[in-house]
């Protein structure tokens, strides 16, 4: 997950709470504290930012929002994916909690090799999201266990390239049991999946 300079592509702005993992979202609290509108909006005026950027980067797509929020029209998703498909000098990283919708529209989108798709889950309660992720034809699939709020027992990590394990050191700073982290690390090692621990919140999902 390292190498290229990183940049947020704010193609979607705003979001909605989905689970308890959202409760410390820095994007939400920034908007709330500053009394800013947090309604989900597609920012199509930013569509060609990656196209016009000649220097290779890792673009985080709609960080602080969710590209697959129900408010983002399929036609807009197609335009966004076309930009990614045509910008082969960049890599694009998408993290979503709304993996069911991503699965529903996946066959209408072109998953070029420079697109990485990840699913955010805060505990094993949401392991079903990984099954949806596995069925989407992204070349690189990853799990953002961010923030880790409970155990992840019996995870099937087949066809998953990477797991990012991140404790909540911001916002509510909810406690993490060491056994949750150690068990998930052991599952990654046993199943041959790369992982990092507390590398950065910045590339998680709200």
Domain ranges of the chain: 5-197
CATH number of 5-197: 3.80.30
Task: Quick: pLDDT tens for 123-150.
Answer: 999 999 999 999 999 999 999 998 899 9
Return the pLDDT at 29: 62
Write out the two tokens for 206: 């709200």
Report which of residues 27 and 47 the model is more confident about. Answer: 47
Return the pLDDT at 203: 35
Q: Quote the CA–CA distance of 44 and 69 in Å, as a whole number.
A: 15
**Count of beta carbons in the 10 Å neighbourhood of residue 81:** 21
Q: Quote the CA–CA distance of 67 and 120 in Å, as a whole number.
A: 13
Tell me: pLDDT of 36 over 80.
Answer: no
Within its chain, how far is the Cα of 159 from the centroid? Answer: 17
Return the pLDDT at 21: 66
The whole-model pTM stands at: 0.89
Tell me: pLDDT of 201 over 90.
Answer: no
Pairing of strands 41-42, 12-13: antiparallel
Task: Quick: pLDDT tens for 59-111.
Answer: 999 998 999 999 999 999 999 999 999 999 999 999 999 999 999 999 999 99
Return the pLDDT at 23: 67
């Amino acid at each position: 997950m390292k190498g290229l300079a990183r940049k947020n592509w704010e193609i979607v702005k705003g979001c909605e709470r989905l689970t308890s993992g959202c409760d410390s979202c820095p994007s939400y609290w920034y908007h709330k504290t500053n009394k800013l509108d947090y309604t989900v909006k597609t920012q199509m005026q930013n569509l060609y930012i990656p196209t016009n950027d000649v220097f290779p980067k890792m673009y985080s797509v709609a960080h602080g929002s969710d590209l697959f929020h129900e408010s983002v029209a399929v036609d807009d998703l197609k335009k966004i994916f076309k930009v990614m498909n045509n910008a082969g000098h960049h890599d694009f990283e998408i993290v979503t909690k709304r993996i069911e919708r991503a699965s529903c529209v996946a066959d209408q989108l072109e998953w070029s090799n420079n697109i990485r798709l990840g699913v955010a889950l805060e505990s094993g309660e949401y392991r079903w999201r990984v099954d949806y992720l596995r069925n989407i034809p992204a070349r690189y699939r990853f799990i953002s266990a961010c923030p880790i709020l409970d155990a992840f027992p019996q995870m099937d990590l087949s066809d998953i390239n990477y797991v990012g394990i991140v404790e909540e050191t911001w916002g509510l700073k909810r406690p993490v049991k060491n056994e949750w982290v150690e068990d998930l690390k052991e599952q990654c090692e046993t199943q041959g999946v790369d992982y990092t621990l507390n590398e950065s919140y910045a590339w998680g999902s709200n």
